[in-house]
Amino acid sequence: MSSILVTGGAGYIGSHVARQLGERGERIVTLDNLSTGFRAAVLHGDLVVGDTGDAATVAQVLRDYGVDTVMHFAAHIIVPESVADPLKYYRNNTANTRTMLQCCVEAGVRHFVFSSTAAVYGIPASGVASEDTPTEPINPYGRSKLMSEWMLGDVAAATPLRYVALRYFNVAGADPGGRIGQSTPEATHLIKVACQHVIGKRDHVSIFGTDYDTPDGTGVRDYIHVEDLAAAHLNALDYLRAGGAPVTLNCGYGQGFSVREVLDCVASVAGRPLVIRTEPRRAGDPPMLVARAERIAKVLGWVPRHQDLRGIVASALAWERQLG
C-alpha cells in the first residue's frame, strides 16, 4: 500500500487532515520541522522532523515510505509578518515548494494536494471571489502562494503529476473530539485571538480598521470550520485517485461575517462582553473576502457539515480552554 506524505502535519490544518486520513485507515507519514507545529498533534503514522527545503530528507522520505500522494501544508501564514519579512515567505512558501515539487517529480509521486489561499485574490471588486476572479495578491503571503500555484500548473503540464490546489478562506475551530486544535501561542488570527482573550491570556481584542467600506466598517471574511476544510482534502484525494484532472478550487462557505459580528458571536458563546480596542487598519488586509463556493461541491462532491459560526467559535473556545 502506498502512503501519503503530509508536510506540516504537526501544524493546525495539517494535523486535522492527518487525523481524518488516519481514522480512514490511510497510511501516512508527517514531515514537519516543528518550527510552529507540535509533536503531540501527530496522532497517526510516523513523524519525520525535517524541512521541506531539504531535498535529501524529502527524497528519502518519499522513497522510504513509498509515497504516492503529497499533501503540502508546511508554510508560513501570517499576512502582516509577510509584509514585514517577505523573503521569509518566499523561502519557506515558494522556494521550498519548488524543492518539494522537484523531489516529487524525481520520485514519481502521482498526486499533490496543495494548501493555497484566498489571499491570491487580493481585493476582488465585489469582495466575492470565484476561481475565475483575477489573481492579484496584495501582500507577499498571497504572492508566495500564487507562485507555488503557477509552478504546480507548469509541472502538471510537463509531467504525469496531477494536483488539487485548495484556496482556503479563513479557517477556524478545532477537532470536535478535543484532541487537536490551533496551538500556536503567538497566533494572530481573529477567532483564536478572541478566544485567548476570553480565557484571560490577553487583556483585550483589537479591531484593525473600522473605516472599511463594509456594512459596519470592519473587515468581512468567510470563516470555515477546520473539520470541513480537512474533509475537502480527503475528497481531493479520492478525486485524484479516480483520475481527476488538475484543478484549483475555493474552500469556503460563501458567507461573510464582519470582525464585529465575529466578536459579538464570541461574546455570546463566552457569556460575557469582550474588552475591545479599535485600532488603525492592519497592513495587507483587504476589506472583504468571501468565496464563491459552488465549484468545490460540484468537482469534489464536498459537503460542509459545520457551517455555523457559533459552532466554529464554540469549538475554538473549547480547545483554548483545554490548552489553558
Q: Among all residues, which ones are annotated catalytic?
A: 141
Candidate residues 73, 121, 208, 302; the one interacting with ligand UDP per rule CB under 6 A? 208
Q: Is 221 in the site for ligand UDP (CB under 6 A)?
A: yes
Least Å distance, CB 261 to ligand UDP, is 11
Helix H segments across the chain? 12-23, 55-64, 79-84, 86-89, 96-107, 140-158, 190-198, 226-241, 259-270, 294-300, 309-323
Residue list 52-91, contact with ligand UDP (CB under 6 A): 79
The interface region with ligand UDP, picked from 62-70, 98-106, 189-197, 224-232 by CB under 6 A, is 189-197
Candidate residues 13, 190, 226, 265; the one interacting with ligand UDP per rule CB under 6 A? 190
Least Å distance, CB 238 to ligand UDP, is 28
Lay out the site mask for ligand UDP across 253-282 (x = CB under 6 A, - = otherwise): ------x----------------------x
Candidate residues 102, 130, 184, 188; the one interacting with ligand UDP per rule CB under 6 A? 188
The interface region with ligand UDP, picked from 14-22, 37-45, 108-116, 184-192 by CB under 6 A, is 184-192
Q: Is 207 in the site for ligand UDP (CB under 6 A)?
A: yes
If the CB atoms of residues 278 and 307 are measured against ligand UDP, the closer one turns out to be 278
If the CB atoms of residues 66 and 215 are measured against ligand UDP, the closer one turns out to be 215
Q: Which three cell numbers stand for residue 129?
A: 471571489
Strands of the sheet with 46-49, listed across from one edge: 46-49, 28-32, 3-7, 67-72, 111-117, 162-168, 247-251
How far is 244 from 58, CA to CA, in rounded Å?
A: 25
Q: Are 89 and 140 in contact (CB under 8 A)?
A: yes
What SS3 state is found at 73? Answer: coil
Q: Is 225 in the site for ligand UDP (CB under 6 A)?
A: no
Which single residue brings its beta carbon nearest to ligand UDP? 219
Give every CB contact of residue 66 below 8 A, 6+ residues apart in sequence: 2, 3
Least Å distance, CB 222 to ligand UDP, is 9
User: Phi-psi category of 173—alpha, beta or left, where left has phi over 0 and alpha has psi -120 to 50?
Assistant: left
Q: Which three cell numbers stand for residue 170?
A: 479563513
Element (H, E) at 6: strand 3-7
If the CB atoms of residues 8 and 219 are measured against ligand UDP, the closer one turns out to be 219
The Cβ of residue 215 has, within 10 Å, a number of other Cβ atoms equal to: 12
**9 φ/ψ angles, rounded to the nearest 5 degrees:** -75, -10
The interface region with ligand UDP, picked from 145-153, 201-209, 227-235, 245-253 by CB under 6 A, is 201-209
The interface region with ligand UDP, picked from 24-32, 176-184, 202-210, 306-314 by CB under 6 A, is 202-210
| DSSP 8-state code for residue 41 | G
If the CB atoms of residues 205 and 291 are measured against ligand UDP, the closer one turns out to be 205
Q: Which three cell numbers stand for residue 166?
A: 485548495
Q: Which three cell numbers stand for residue 179?
A: 484532541
Least Å distance, CB 60 to ligand UDP, is 34
Q: Is 230 in the site for ligand UDP (CB under 6 A)?
A: no
The Cβ of residue 245 has, within 10 Å, a number of other Cβ atoms equal to: 11
Both ends of the chain: CA-CA distance in Å?
A: 40
Q: Is 13 in the site for ligand UDP (CB under 6 A)?
A: no
Q: Is 189 in the site for ligand UDP (CB under 6 A)?
A: yes
Q: Which residues bind ligand UDP (CB under 6 A)?
A: 79, 170, 188-190, 193, 205-209, 219, 221, 259, 282, 285
